[in-house]
Structure 1
Amino acid sequence: MLKDRHPALVAAFWMTGALFSFMAMAVSGRELSQDLTTFQILFFRSLIGVLLIGALVARSGWAQLKTNRAGGHLMRNIAHFGGQYGWFYGLAFIPLAEVIAIEFTTPIWTALLAWMVLGERLTLPRLTALVFGISGLLLILRPGMGSLHPAALAVLAGAVGYAISYIQTKSLSASETPLCILFYMTMMQLPFGLVPSLMDWKTPELNSLPWILLVAVTAMSAHYCMARAFKLADATVVVPMDFMRLPLIAVVGYLFYEEVIDLPVALGAGLMLAGNLINIRAEQRKAPLRTEALKAPRSPE
């Protein structure tokens, strides 16, 4: 039984589910891009998501959906929708491994935004991660070398959108439940995808329906599995496993689409991963110090 296992081992089990979910979502997104527009993919993803999240909310209670922060939800979902659009658009035109590698710049933009918006400190490890991350990004994109595909810029813009949504999620989580945030995500993003889809509507073929179902279900299962993993283990255990997405998706791209990951992409991704790991290790070392500080007796005022 999983409950009798070490928490880190159970977290690894959940992260395995997340990794397979992300890979399945990438493949289904690539397959659907041959017949549907990116807006249609996002519309169907949200439509099925509304049904899935609605069922979960019905079991846990509708009262949690009451909110005074509609503006915050709207801001988060505009940014998140932009992030998703860039990611799925990129899947149609550039190698899967390159999409994932560029997506790994999200922590860079999140750290910058947290510094500018939330006032969080830019410590030396965080600055190191930023320098490594930007250097890795330049290796992958190779500006001025004549090999920059517009879809790569779309994925990069999507990574910035994800970073904005993460900052807004951190703010919303102080008063909203995770299901509340997910419910408004699917409800708000449903018309975001529907309206532009109607302008260039393509009725899905019957053989596209399994891919539509897969992209929607794996979108939810990936984030659910990651949330369960983070609840059981520290970031130093979970995040390095998430980095496995890059080599795994490179294998998937090679096997299914005959994609070969080139050396600059591999080196750039390695730099970004190294920077993230340096930052994570530094944050982990600071955690015991914070715990000891909380335990220390306070002098009377």
Structure 2
Amino acid sequence: MTAPSVLQATLWMVGALFSFMAMAISGRELSAEFTTYQILFFRSVIGVLLISFLVSRSGWAQIKTHRFKGHLIRNVAHFGGQYGWFFGLAFIPLAEVIAIEFTTPVWTALLAAIFLGERLTLPRLTALVLGITGLLVILRPGMGAVHPAAFAVLAGAIGYSLTYIQTKSLSATETPLCILFYMTLMQLPMGMIPSLMDWKTPSLGSVPWIVLVGVTAMSAHYCMTRAFKLADATVVVPMDFMRLPLIALVGYLFYSEVIDWPVAVGAAMMLAGNFVNILAEHRKRLPLHSD
């Protein structure tokens, strides 16, 4: 891994971070006018147009698949994850949404052990314990009512973890564009059908937010994918952790949100656990040198 590749990966991660922040802001703005289902529908419409354009340039043959069931499972889980995330944006502080979302690696490790037979090593168990403890610190059960939106985001994080497990399986036979194509296509009716039951025609002022939420949903994942191709996870993932302080700053500047200490402490515990696991995985991949 050369210095130029690390610099390029950093630039791609800057793009990913700004995309995630813009998606969170646009989701918050749209939640004042639309239901979560309608936001997800708009997101899928923009996504279908963007992905169809990219597939048309690289070849439609790649979307032929014999794994329709696998795509369906992945997209039901991902739609659930997206619903929990966008629902949470409307009701709880932005920093709390991102902090709870950072439990996704915890549930991914647990599901990978159950469904893929992956070993729960000591670093993974450390991440698991710190992640769950950090979550309990944030939610503070027994110390007052927890907003239902926090549980929606938590359920969304579990949905995301199942998505990652299924993506790992699909990536053995499908191209990234194929996976994204079926993601946008399958999730389109999932958002459209419930949206029609309580349809609100977009106002002219909401159109830029609709375009932004759709474009940034695609650009965030594209930028992160490019970053992972150029640099190790030990370089890329810590940069992704910057989402939390950055989104907290956005919440403070735009929505007058103040982070309370349990969110900060709980998030720090989660990030520490994830970082321990990432470093351990990196060391396993280092070549052995003999003197």
Given the alignment of the two structures, is residue 55 of structure 1 paired with residue 53 of structure 2, yes or no?
Answer: yes
Helix, strand or coil for the counterpart of 2:222? helix
Tell me, in whole angstroms, the C-alpha distance in 1 between the residues paired with 2:216 and 2:203: 20
Which residue of structure 2 lines up, in the alignment, with residue 234 of structure 1? 232
**1:5 shift after superposition:** 6.1
Which residue of structure 1 lines up, in the alignment, with residue 133 of structure 2? 135
- TM-score by length of structure 1 reads 0.94
Tell me, in whole angstroms, the C-alpha distance in 2 between the residues paired with 1:277 and 1:185: 29
Given the alignment of the two structures, is residue 189 of structure 1 paired with residue 187 of structure 2, yes or no?
Answer: yes
Structure 1 or 2, whichever has the larger Rg, is 1
**1:189 shift after superposition:** 0.1
Tell me, in whole angstroms, the C-alpha distance in 2 between the residues paired with 1:230 and 1:33: 32
User: What residue ranges of structure 1 are gaps of 5+ in the alignment?
Assistant: 294-301
Which residue of structure 2 lines up, in the alignment, with residue 299 of structure 1? none
Tell me, in whole angstroms, the C-alpha distance in 1 between the residues paired with 2:12 and 2:286: 25
Query: Of 182, 199, 202, which aligns to 1:201?
Result: 199
Which residue of structure 2 lines up, in the alignment, with residue 28 of structure 1? 26
Map 1:173-188; keep pairs closer than 5 Å. Answer: 173-188=171-186
Tell me, in whole angstroms, the C-alpha distance in 2 between the residues paired with 1:82 and 1:131: 25
Which residue of structure 2 lines up, in the alignment, with residue 64 of structure 1? 62
Q: RMSD between aligned alpha carbons?
A: 1.1
Which residue of structure 2 lines up, in the alignment, with residue 296 of structure 1? none
Tell me, in whole angstroms, the C-alpha distance in 1 between the residues paired with 2:145 and 2:195: 30
Which residue of structure 1 lines up, in the alignment, with residue 241 of structure 2? 243
Tell me, in whole angstroms, the C-alpha distance in 2 between the residues paired with 1:74 and 1:199: 23
User: What residue ranges of structure 2 are gaps of 5+ in the alignment?
Assistant: none
Query: Of 150, 153, 160, which aligns to 1:152?
Result: 150
**1:206 shift after superposition:** 0.8
Helix, strand or coil for the counterpart of 1:47? helix
Which residue of structure 2 lines up, in the alignment, with residue 119 of structure 1? 117
Tell me, in whole angstroms, the C-alpha distance in 1 between the residues paired with 2:158 and 2:66: 26
Q: For this pair of structures, how many residues does the alignment match?
A: 288
Deviations 1:118-143 (A, max 9, x none): 00000000000000000000000011
Percent identity between the aligned chains?
77
Tell me, in whole angstroms, the C-alpha distance in 2 between the residues paired with 1:240 and 1:132: 17
Tell me, in whole angstroms, the C-alpha distance in 1 between the residues paired with 2:145 and 2:137: 11
Counterpart AA for 2:180: L
